[in-house]
Amino acid sequence: MERGSTSVGVLVIGAGAIADQHVAALSSDPRGRLAGFVDTSAARAGQAARAQGGVPWTTDLAEALAWPGVDACVLCTPNDTHDELAARVAAAGKHLLVEKPLATTVPAARKTVEAFAAAGRTLSVAHSHRFYDYARTVHGEIASGALGRPLLVRLALLGGWIWPDWRTWVIDRERSGGHALHNGVHLLDLVTWWIGDEPVSVYARGQRRTAAELDVHDHLEMVVTYAGGATAICEMSRAHRPASLSARDVVVQGTEGLLTMEWDGEGVLLADERGTHLAAEGPAAGFAAQMSAWLDTVTGTASTGVAGDEALLAVAMGVAAERSMELGRPVSLEEVR
């Protein structure tokens, strides 16, 4: 922390859409202070800085890391740049919250975890779904023992096409790592946290519904088996029609009980002239809880965020899913580690 200051100075690296969510969360926690923006695009960095009342900005990461008052960074750049930029953050002795996935390959993810361990700084990964109320409710019910030992988990996050056009890096397989790494890790991490067991293998099937020319799969069915015999079905979609569809579905069958959160579980169905829609809260509350947990970790108050080793496991599962889709067979975690 800055001398004489009790707040954590946070540098935001990459000033795209997701950075807005983190910055909004940061402004809601008195322990955090926005130290500035760095982005390869001067226009993007400058605009973000102006929108936040004229905080510092630059296009040079080395310069930003040397600013006084920078204690920690939030890394919101394309997935394939995470490991290299994280290494520079670790070398500069800053704490890091990196957007998911931690990296697009297992060796890169592992190297990042090791770099922060060696630097004595904390590494957290923005598996934001862990901080949403629904996810915490499910985790709480399982942890309370009410359901017994979980044997089957179904988690579906379904929507239509929300991405921009062919220019976006998120549908570039090289840059995003594929959909199993880009969004799939959210589900893979969440179900593993819920089940609390060691994943053994992943069988994944992917479809390209929006366009056959896509490099990534806009629909994923990933079936994970666990050491204790549980199965998790993770379904992630940007392929459903109508494109306005937004549905989440959770099932947990345990040895002693069944939990369901149905697709309309958020409770508000809006029927208007264009059809029936689900009206739900946005992700703001989840990002605020995630920011709070990260600041706990950075300040050493508690360790409730998603640590690097857990995110490394999620990367391994995502890589196994991508490989399973390539090979058309289940892929064990051992094969990708």
Partner 1 sequence: MRVLDVLLIGEYGLGHQNHQRDMYAPAFEAHPGFRVTGRAEADDPLDRPDADVVSVCVPYERRVEVVTRALRAGKHVLVDKPMALTAAECARIAEAAAGTGLVCLPAHHQRFQPAVRVAREAIAAGKVGLPWNVQADFLVAGGGAVWPLGELLNFAPYATDAIHAMTALPVTAVYATGGPRFQDGPSQNSSFQDGPEDLVTLCLTHERGMTSTVVAGRTPAMPGAGGLSLHRYRVAGSHGTLLADANRPAARVLTTTGTPRGTWAGPSTVDRMLTELHTAVVTGRPAELGPADAVAALRVVEAARRSLASGQVEEVLP
Residues lying near partner 1 in the complex (CB under 8 A):
151-152, 154, 156, 158, 201, 203, 205, 207, 209, 219, 221, 223, 225, 229, 231, 233, 235, 237, 239-242, 245, 247, 249, 251, 253, 255-258, 260, 263, 328-330
270: left (phi over 0), alpha (psi -120 to 50) or beta: beta
Assess contact for 332 and 210: CB atoms under 8 A.
Answer: no
- Residue 270's DSSP bridge partners are 277
Name the minimum Å distance from CB 118 to partner 1. Answer: 38
Name the minimum Å distance from CB 226 to partner 1. Answer: 10
Nearer to partner 1, 78 or 206 (CB): 206
Peptide bond into 199 cis (omega under 30): no
Distant-in-sequence, close-in-space partners of 215: CB < 8 Å, separation ≥ 6: 171, 172, 173
Name the minimum Å distance from CB 197 to partner 1. Answer: 13
State in Å, rounded, how far the first CA of the chain is from the last one: 36
Spatial strand order in the sheet of 123-126: 57-58, 32-38, 8-13, 72-75, 95-99, 123-126
Distance of CA 215 to the CA centre of its chain: 21
Assess contact for 236 and 159: CB atoms under 8 A.
Answer: no
Assess contact for 308 and 113: CB atoms under 8 A.
Answer: yes
Name the minimum Å distance from CB 240 to partner 1. Answer: 5
The pairing of beta strand 95-99 with beta strand 123-126: parallel
The pairing of beta strand 32-38 with beta strand 258-261: unpaired
Name the minimum Å distance from CB 239 to partner 1. Answer: 7
Assess contact for 148 and 194: CB atoms under 8 A.
Answer: no
Radius of gyration of the chain (CA): 20
Nearer to partner 1, 2 or 249 (CB): 249
Nearer to partner 1, 77 or 253 (CB): 253
Name the minimum Å distance from CB 166 to partner 1. Answer: 21
Name the minimum Å distance from CB 9 to partner 1. Answer: 46
Nearer to partner 1, 74 or 147 (CB): 147
Nearer to partner 1, 110 or 219 (CB): 219
Nearer to partner 1, 5 or 260 (CB): 260
Nearer to partner 1, 44 or 277 (CB): 277
